[in-house]
Amino acid sequence: MDTLTNGTKISIQGVTKIFSGKRDEVIALKELSMDVQDGEFIVIVGASGCGKTTLINLVAGFEAPTHGQIILDGQPVTGITPECGMIFQQYALFPWKTVQQNVEFGMKMKRMPQKERQERAARFIDIVGLKGFERSYPHHLSGGMKQRVSIARSLANDPKVLLLDEPFAALDAMTRQVLQEQLVRIYEKHRKTIIFITHSIDEALLLSSRIVVMTARPGRIAQEIVNDLPHPRNADVQLSNRYMELKRTIWDSVQAEVMKSMEVETH
C-alpha cells in the first residue's frame, strides 16, 4: 500500500516542553521537529519517560509547548481541537453513558440531529464489531470491547487525525491482534492520518507506514524508518528477511536509547 501524500498534515516545529515543578524542572522534549504527511500511519517508539505521551498531548492541544509550535492543516494548534481524536490507554469512556450514548457524544456536541447521530453511531458500533451491545454500560464490557467503543466514539466524530497512546497495551495478545487488524482496516478504508505510540516493535512494524524512534529524555528524534513491508502483513511477511532486518534496526536504536536513559537515572 502506497501512502497518499497530499501534503503536510501536521508540522511539529522546534518544540520544547518543560514541566516546572516546585524544585526542579523536567525537560520532556527538546527542539523536536517532525512532519507528518496526510494519510501517514506514524508509530512512535522510545524508552519509557522519553516524552511520547507529552508529544501527542501537545498535538491534541491538551498542553501548550514551552517553545516552538505545532501546525495542523496550516493553522497553529492553540487549544484542544476535535480535529485530533485521541484514544487513551485507559479508554476514558463515560461510565454513565451506554455504548450508544458514548459513541454519539462527539456528534451531540456538534448539535447533530438525534436521528442522524443515532444512525451514524450505529454504523460505527457495527464497524468495530459491537452490534448488540448498544445499550450496555462500559463497566459490563471487557477491556478490548471498551477500547473498541473508544475507537468508534473517535471515528464517529470524524477527526482528521487519530492519536493513539499505547491503546492496546493493557489487552491480552489475542484481543490485541484482533484490534490491530481492525485498526489497519479502518485506516485503509477511512484514510485517516494516524500517530500511534507503542512499546512493541512488532506492533510498530505491523501497523506503521513510518516508524519514529525517540531518544531518551529530553525527547528528540533518534531515527526515522520508512516501513516498506508489503500488505497484508501476515505470517509470511512477519517471517521475511526484511521484517527481521527492520526489527533489528529498530531494536538496536531503541536499545541504545533505553541504555542511555538508565545511565541517566543511576547517576
Partner 1 sequence: MKIDSTAKSLTISIVSLLIFVTAWELVCRLGFIEPLFMPAPSKILFRAIKMIDNGQLIAHTLASTRRVMVGFMISSLVAIPFGIFLGSSRFFMAVFDPLISLLRPLPSMSWIPLSLLWLGITETQKYSIVFMGSFAPSLLYIIEATKSIDPLLIRAAKNLGASKLDVMREVILPGSLPQIIAGLKVMLGIAWTCIISAELVAAREGLGFMIMNGKEYFQTDTVLLGMVMISITVMIIDVVFRKFERRLLPWTR
Q: Which does 225 bind (CB under 5 to 8 A by kind): ligand ATP, Mg ion, partner 1, none?
A: none
User: Do 195 and 164 contact (CB within 8 A), yes or no?
Assistant: yes
Q: Starting at the edge strand that comes first in sequence, how are the strands of the sheet with 75-76 ordered?
A: 25-37, 8-20, 67-72, 75-76
- List the one residue from 10, 36, 50, 161 that touches ligand ATP (CB under 6 A): 50
The interface with partner 1 within residues 71-110 (CB under 8 A) comprises: 80, 82, 84-86, 88, 90, 92, 94-97, 105-106, 108-110
Asked if 177 touches Mg ion (CB under 5 A), the answer is no
At closest approach, how far in Å is the CB of 80 from partner 1?
A: 4
Contacts with ligand ATP: how many residues (CB under 6 A)?
13
From 9, 5, 7, select the one nearest 36 (Cα to Cα). Answer: 9
Helix, strand or coil, per DSSP, at residue 32:
strand
Least Å from the CB of residue 198 to Mg ion: 10
Whether residue 159 is preceded by a cis peptide bond, meaning omega within 30 degrees of 0, is no
Give, as ranges, the residues between 27 and 56 that touch Mg ion (CB under 5 A): 53
Binding residue for ligand ATP, selected from 52, 117, 176, 210, defined by CB under 6 A: 52
Q: What share of the chain is helix, strand, coil (3-state, %, to 5)?
A: 40, 25, 35
Under rule CB under 6 A, which residues in 192-221 are in contact with ligand ATP?
A: 217
The angle at the Cα of 4, spanning 154 to 180, to the nearest 5 degrees, equals 45
Q: Which residues bind ligand ATP (CB under 6 A)?
A: 19, 21, 26, 28, 46, 48-54, 217
